[in-house]
Amino acid sequence: MSVALGMQDNQGISDVQDGGLGVDTVEVNGRQLARIPMKSGGCIVAIGVGDSSRVDVRANSGFDTQQSCELADKAAAIVEPKLPEG
């Protein structure tokens, strides 16, 4: 299993790319989030930081997309409150 963070300083939530399994968007604590399951088995939770930037939480547990998304959700829940308001 692995988790990685990435800052997208020129791409917001509206710029996320579908990983082949759809994109689910929600609002949490007044912030837009997008959950992007990947056909490869990984998962990304993109956390909006303003209109034109975001932090991507990438998780990979092998070939189990559901497990990867659960891991990304847990990591995003830790990261989100520490991010600045957009």
pLDDT tens for the chain, 86 residues long, are 899 999 999 999 999 999 999 999 999 989 999 999 999 999 999 999 988 999 999 999 988 999 999 999 999 999 999 999 86
The Cβ of residue 17 has, within 10 Å, a number of other Cβ atoms equal to: 11
Q: Provide the whole-model pTM.
A: 0.93
- Per-residue model confidence (pLDDT) at position 37: 97
Going by DSSP bridges, is the β-strand pair 54-60/24-28 parallel, antiparallel, or unpaired?
A: unpaired
3-state secondary structure string, the chain?
CEEEEEEECCCCHHHCCCCECCCEEEEECCEEEEEEEECCCEEEEEEECCCCCEEEEEEECCCCHHHHHHHHHHHHHHHHHHCCCC
- Per-residue model confidence (pLDDT) at position 86: 66
- Per-residue model confidence (pLDDT) at position 62: 85
- Per-residue model confidence (pLDDT) at position 49: 96
The Cβ of residue 37 has, within 10 Å, a number of other Cβ atoms equal to: 21
- Per-residue model confidence (pLDDT) at position 85: 82
Domain ranges of the chain: 2-82
